[in-house]
Amino acid sequence: MKVVVRKSCIIFLVLITLATLTKAQVVDRIIAKVDNYIVLQSELDIAYEQFKANMEGLPSGDVQCKVFETLIINKLMLAKAEIDSVVVDRSAVDEQLERRMQYFIAQVGGADKLEGYYGKTVDELKADLRKQVKEQMITQKMQDNITNKIKVTPGDVKKFYSGIPLDSLPYFSTEVEVGQIVKKAFVSQSQKAIVRKKLSEISERIRNGEDFGELARLYSEDPGSGKLGGEIGFMKKGDLVPPYEAAALRLKPGELSGIVESEFGFHLIQMLGRKGNEYNTRHILIKASSSKKDISSSAYYLDSIRSQILNGKLNFEKAAKDLSDDKATSPNGGMFQDHNTGDTRITLENIDPALFFVIDTMKVGSITNPVIYQMEDGTEAVRIVYYKSRTAPHQANLHDDYQKILTATQEEKKNNAINKWFDKTKGEVYINIHDDYKHCQILQAQ
């Protein structure tokens, strides 16, 4: 999540990292109160270390005060979100939490190692992080509400660039443009039939009196709701995928659906209740796995696409937009983007290691044969990779780095908008800062 520091034009990432998962109770203290929210010394220490780690050169002034001020702004956003009834869906929190946990597990080399190190189960660690994830998502939503009307013109970008001293222009290392077209493994009708039979048996067990929630915990493959007995929480129309929603809205409270197929797999749905335009359901999700034959079919399909691109009959970017199953890259014509700038040129240091080893042996302009890989959600898939370009190291300039400079300009404007919002809003809630940090002058009129 991007966090803006007022009066300093510094934007840095405050991430939920393994450092936030404490192994044991540590001595801590409250260094600020913002309405019903607090800032702990440990929060400041972690955020400060993250900030230093992500900066090539530290800015002038008291950096710790700037970071502390950012945390105060975040807490103020949470307090205002509570007052203004700004919320995030529980299912979205569950999904984000699951992604973070899978990332942590990959970092340490497995769930067993993570549990062994912290002395807690994965579910317990998730429970520890849930509040942090939810608060970060609410803060992001508040920031978006504050900055969503900001526009940047080419003139703004040129003015921003002109204001950077020549000796302060960043130097970019080697950058590459890489794209992919992904096809999930085709799932045969025989594999789907296996899942349908299993869900039919579960449905029969429920109708014979077994508890839906217990069966969801045992069998559901939805990482978010499965552990909660399948309950998704109240949703508005349009929040869930159409096949699921259409089936759910035909149900009366307590009633079970038939077997419903969506892009996520096969569902057994039970309506729990309605409240105005919202409805609450629970479900058991089972995904149909693919066989080696199914994977081969996807590879054969992509090989045909690759041949048409190489023969000039298809454009890679258009094919990716129209045909790729990867939602993260297909809207960009299959191209990977820098998470911070949105630029399709990525430094070699920031490229995914698995992708780096793929392009390491490729020539610019070439496309790989179909290769099997696993998507972020664990889905088996096949992809072809396009090595579009490679840019030599250079100093930032408007011609080669327009997208990066555009992003920096946008962030400065957002920064200014957050500054104005803070100055306007800080008097609306109770804010108290520990005497040890009064020198930061966070509440002083600017």
Q: What is the pLDDT of residue 23?
A: 54
Contact call for residues 359 and 143 (beta carbons, < 8 A): no
pLDDT for residue 11 is more than 50? no
- b/e per residue 76-92 (b: at least 16 CB within 10 A): bbbbbbeeeeeebbbbe
pLDDT band at 8 (very low <50, low <70, confident <90, very high): very low
229 token code pair = 């007995």
Domain positions in the chain are 2-162+398-440, 171-186+291-395, 189-286
Q: What is the pLDDT of residue 446?
A: 53
**Helix (H), strand (E) at residue 31:** strand 30-34
Class of domain 171-186+291-395: alpha beta
Residue bearing tokens 């404007």? 413
Nearest CA-CA partner of 89 in 353, 280, 356, 246: 280
Can you tell me the distance from the alpha carbon of 358 to that of 335, in angstroms, rounded to the nearest whole number? Answer: 15
Question: What fold characterizes domain 189-286?
Answer: Chitinase A; domain 3 (3.10.50)
Tell which CATH classification among 1.20.1250, 1.10.20, 1.10.4030, 1.10.8 matches the domain 2-162+398-440. 1.10.4030
Average pLDDT over residues 194-209: 95
Can you tell me the distance from the alpha carbon of 343 to that of 47, in angstroms, rounded to the nearest whole number? Answer: 26
Q: Residue 416 to residues 5, 61, 250: CA-CA distances in angstroms?
A: 9, 19, 48
- Domain pair 2-162+398-440 / 189-286, same fold: no
SS (H, E, C) 302-318: HHHHHHHHHCCCCCHHH
Q: Which residue has the higher pLDDT, 69 or 15?
A: 69
**Residue 417 CB neighbour total at 10 angstroms:** 17
**Residue 57 CB neighbour total at 10 angstroms:** 6
Q: What is the pLDDT of residues 287-314, one digit of tens each?
A: 887 767 778 889 999 999 999 999 999 9
pLDDT band at 56 (very low <50, low <70, confident <90, very high): low
List 371's β-bridge partners, or say none: 383
Residue bearing tokens 């039919």? 200
pLDDT band at 107 (very low <50, low <70, confident <90, very high): confident
